[in-house]
Amino acid sequence: MKMKTGLLMVACVILLANNLFGYPERYYIRNDAVTADKWFGTHYHTTGVNDQIMKIGGWGDNYYALFMMPVHLNVPGRKLLHSATLNMYSFGSLRPTSMKKYFVLTPWSETSTTDHWSTQLRTPVSIPVPPVNGAYSIDILDEMFLWLNFPNTNRGIAFIPENNDNRANIFLSSENSRGAQRPYIEIVYEKVPDFKLPLPGGGRYWRCSTAAGGSSTHQLKNYYAIDLSYRHVLESAPTVEINTKTRIPILAAADGIVITNGYTAANGNYVVIDHDKDGKWETGFQTVYLHMTNNSIAVAIGQKVRTGDVLGIIGDTGTGVTGIHVHFQIWFQHLGSIMSNGDNGALNFVRIENRAVSSFVEGTFYKSNNTNYDFD
């Protein structure tokens, strides 16, 4: 059985602002005749590369398709994807067939042979049968997350028919003269705040007393948390541990608004900041600061805060809390992972002081670049 392969590489980014959730913006990635954006290797319909159409399906000939991911994608800064869709235009009179979507696990190029990718595919996902004629959109959010973990390599998406039933899907390619119906990828993303440590800067390094992932209270699919002790050292004297325990201010890790504060037995005195500033747990990022000392909460619900504003004073309030520390927790959307396979995709984009949250190690001191405050 022959395998035919159609390949697409997309480039050229067009930006449209869209402030639905505070940060989100919308990118269209379309083909562009100037850049290298074309089908490769579809030999069936015409004589070589740059076919006008792509075919998936078949009987004796089984037509697969392989899409290159947008290796030229360059969204400024880190980003959290809300959605990613591959949009194609279904065309022709053949009866459409069902097919599955795969993520290609190894890099490849236009000149690769067909077999290199057929054995390097991630667990397939069934996708809807396309229409005979009309717009067709496929969710590729998981694939974009995976691709972003391997930037600038030509991994891609493969489409393989589920049956050899003499049916085929015909899509207009990026070489088709109907420019508006060529494929494109649409990405809606959200900027991730650049969090700072929630304790004073001024050359101070703070001790991580519990790392993320150490227990269920420090990592679930919708949050990471680290504990930061009152213990710290100065850059000028890195071997001298400073054990003052009093009146150390807890600082906002990024701009936002206070969505709640108060006291519970588990949390002690606490403050929650919403960083997309819409006041909702369900959208954007929130940070939570627990165990503040009594009568120290310094911000009111609804109050806007800037990075470095004082929220309260470090303490040990809450049932069973041992040792003076701030439990610093970062949530996304209060719902958890937005990846269908349950990976912690969203929170993997979070950085504190330019570090991945998962890289904080218990017992290590980390520099705060937050606002400097003097304290006793």
Using Cβ positions, the residue closest to Zn ion within the complex turns out to be 327
Burial of residue 240 (CB within 10 Å: 0-12, 13-18, 19+) is: exposed
Q: How many CB atoms lie within 10 A of CB 365?
A: 18
* Contact stretch for Zn ion (CB under 5 A) within 44-52, 224-232, 256-264, 344-352: 224-232
Binding to Zn ion by residue 327, rule CB under 5 A? Answer: yes
4 or 327, CB closer to Zn ion? Answer: 327
CB of 376 to Zn ion, least distance (A): 24
Question: CA 156 to CA 75: how far, in whole Å?
Answer: 18
CB of 212 to Zn ion, least distance (A): 10
Binding to Zn ion by residue 208, rule CB under 5 A? Answer: no
Question: CA 206 to CA 158: how far, in whole Å?
Answer: 47
232 or 327, CB closer to Zn ion? Answer: 327
- Which helix (DSSP H) or strand (DSSP E) does residue 116 occupy? helix 115-118
143 or 227, CB closer to Zn ion? Answer: 227
* Contact stretch for Zn ion (CB under 5 A) within 66-74, 163-171, 223-231, 247-255: 223-231
Binding to Zn ion by residue 227, rule CB under 5 A? Answer: yes
CB of 199 to Zn ion, least distance (A): 14
- State the sign of the Cα–Cα–Cα–Cα dihedral 168, 170, 171, 173: positive
Instruction: Report the C-alpha dihedral over residues 349, 352, 357, 363, rounded to 10 degrees.
Output: 170
227 or 276, CB closer to Zn ion? Answer: 227
User: DSSP class of residue 104?
Assistant: B
51 or 227, CB closer to Zn ion? Answer: 227
Please give the size of the binding site for Zn ion, defined by CB under 5 A: 2
* Contact stretch for Zn ion (CB under 5 A) within 112-120, 230-238, 321-329, 334-342: 321-329
155 or 327, CB closer to Zn ion? Answer: 327
* Contact stretch for Zn ion (CB under 5 A) within 61-69, 197-205, 324-332, 346-354: 324-332
Contact 77, 18 (CB under 8 A): no
Nearest to 357 by CA among 222, 230, 201: 222
Binding to Zn ion by residue 207, rule CB under 5 A? Answer: no
* Contact stretch for Zn ion (CB under 5 A) within 64-72, 74-82, 200-208, 221-229: 221-229
The phi and psi torsions of 335 (rounded to 5 degrees) equal -110, -20
Binding to Zn ion by residue 51, rule CB under 5 A? Answer: no
Buried b (16+ CB within 10 A) or exposed e, 175-212: bbeeeebbbbbbbbbbbbbbbbbbbbbebbbbbbbbbb
101 or 291, CB closer to Zn ion? Answer: 291
User: DSSP class of residue 177?
Assistant: S
CB of 224 to Zn ion, least distance (A): 11
CB of 232 to Zn ion, least distance (A): 17
**Parallel, antiparallel or unpaired: strands 304-305 and 184-191:** unpaired
191 or 327, CB closer to Zn ion? Answer: 327
Binding site for Zn ion (CB under 5 A): 227, 327
